[in-house]
Amino acid sequence: MSTVQTQNKTLRELAKVVRSKNSGPFEITFDVIFDEPTLY
């Protein structure tokens, strides 16, 4: 059994763009855009 080491990163560190908008009462929508498909 192999061990995979992972590193914790924030969404802000991984994504090129993070946008938020109000989508209605008590709701918020995020658009997250990555540079690389592998990060998605």
Task: Examine residue 26 and state whether it is found in any structural domain, yes or no.
Answer: yes
Per-residue model confidence (pLDDT) at position 39: 83
Number of structural domains in the chain: 1
For residue 4, is it within any domain?
A: no
User: Which two tokens mark 17?
Assistant: 């763009």
Per-residue pLDDT tens for 5-40? Answer: 678 999 899 999 999 999 999 999 999 999 999 888
Tell me the C-alpha distance between 38 and 33, whole Å: 12
- pTM assigned to the model: 0.62
Domain that holds residue 26: 11-40
At 25 the pLDDT is: 93
With respect to residue 34, please indicate whether it lies within any of the assigned structural domains: yes
The answer to the question of residue 31 being in a domain is: yes
